[in-house]
Each structure stands twice: as structure tokens, then as C-alpha cells.
Amino acid sequence: MTNTYLTPESLAGMIDHAVLAPTATLDDLRDGCQLAAKYNVASICVRPCDVATAAELLKAKNSPVAVGTVISFPHGSCATQIKAAETAQAISDGADEIDMVMNFARFIGAENSTDAADFLRDEVTAVVSAAQGKCVKVIMECCYLNHEQIAAACKVIMAAGAEFVKTSTGFGSGGATVEDVTLMREVVGAEFGVKASGGIRTLSDAAAMIAAGVTRLGTSNTAGILTAMHSTS
């Protein structure tokens, strides 16, 4: 791998450090916030129940790292009203960024493309409204979508006011792929946010996704990736 444009600092600024394991403890959350502050990553992405604590921990460290959380994670199957309410609570608790899981099962199972688009538009619009101007990323769970569905979903998400399309939860049948990221970037254009997550464990994984066009990376192996980056700089 050649690092002709990336520095350890710029790579860190693209990472959303994930602390999303179902078994994550308060100690795990503390460790995650310490790591996020140490490397000055873009954000720490935590479970909704951990938002307030993460915000307090980072504030105590005078860290600029944003607090992100996940909505209707990992299946996306909550009713739209619940997604909006969960978002509003997260914002109240101190979340700066919202990663919502679209109802991908409803999207791919709709009777026609119009119904699919209408449902997705309505739920994204509801979450964007509840987020009160905070950044909203929409997790598409691409492993369950074909190329036509990925492209269609990207267009709806953009029109509904979100700021990012995102590949995966990391809990589906597959994670981020270069093929999917390339397609997403082609559809959304140069300026819209694209986030890859799921299976990004190494510096090579991260570099491949960046080359394909992502602007954010979700990973729980932040330390390993950035340690490797420092060793090659």
C-alpha cells in the first residue's frame, strides 16, 4: 500500500470508532472513548443506551470527537415512529450523529419500486426531522440488496435529506465491499457522504474502501489500523 495522500491524522479523521457489541460493558465504553480521544477520530459510534455516558466522558476529556449512535440496529425493522422517537432521545442524550438502519426487508419486499421508494423516503425523512440538523447516515445493509436496489435506495436517501449512505451494520450476512462502495459513489456523486462498515479490520481494508470513494469508515479495530498506518508513514 502507498500512502501518497493519507496521513495518520487524516485517516483517523475518517474513522467512526465502533463500540456496538451486544456484550459491551461500561469499561468497554470507557476504553473506547479513551481510544477515540487519543487518536482524535471523527466519532465514536455507540449503542443508544451509551450515548449520554459517552458524551460525558468525551466532554470531560475536552475532546472534539463526535458521539454517534445507531437507530433500529441492526435489523431496521422498527416502525418509522419508533425510529424517529429513538432519534429524538439520542439527540437529547447528546448524540451528534445518527446512523439509522433502513427497513431493508420492507424495501426489497415491496410490491413495486414506487412503494419501496415511498416507504424509505418517509422513514428517512422522519429520522432527519427528529435529528434536528444533526448528521444522519442511512445504513442500507447492501449484502441483502442487488445493484439496482442499492442504486435506487441511494437516490431516495439523498432526496430525503440524509448526509450519508452507509454499506452495512456489520451484523448482516456480509460487510462492506469495494464493488458496493464503487456503485454507491457513482450514484451519489462526488460530494455526498459514503460510509463503509462491516469487516474493515486492517489498513489494507481501509485503503481499499478509501480508494473506492468512502469518506467515513466504521471499525472496531481503530487502534490496529492506525498503528499500522503510523508504521508505514
Q: Could you tell me which residues are beta bridge partners of residue 136?
A: 98
Cis peptide upstream of residue 8 (ω within 30 degrees of 0): no
- Give the domains, in start order, of the chain with CATH numbers: 8-232 (3.20.20.70)
Q: Where are the alpha helices (DSSP H) in 13-169?
A: 26-39, 51-60, 80-93, 104-109, 113-130, 147-159
Give pLDDT, residue 232. 86
Active-site pick, 99, 137, 180, 205: 99
Active site residue 115: no
What stretches in the chain show pLDDT beneath 70?
1-4
Give pLDDT, residue 39. 98
3-class DSSP state of 221: coil
Give the C-alpha separation, 140 to 167, whole Å: 6
Residue 196 CA from chain centroid, whole number:
7
Give pLDDT, residue 1. 35
Give pLDDT, residue 100. 98
Over residues 174-207, the pLDDT tens digits come to: 999 999 999 999 999 999 999 999 999 999 999 9
Give pLDDT, residue 2. 35
Give pLDDT, residue 61. 97
Q: Is the overall model pTM greater than 0.85, yes or no?
A: yes
Active site residue 99: yes
Give pLDDT, residue 3. 42
Active-site pick, 16, 50, 166, 180: 166
Active site residue 166: yes
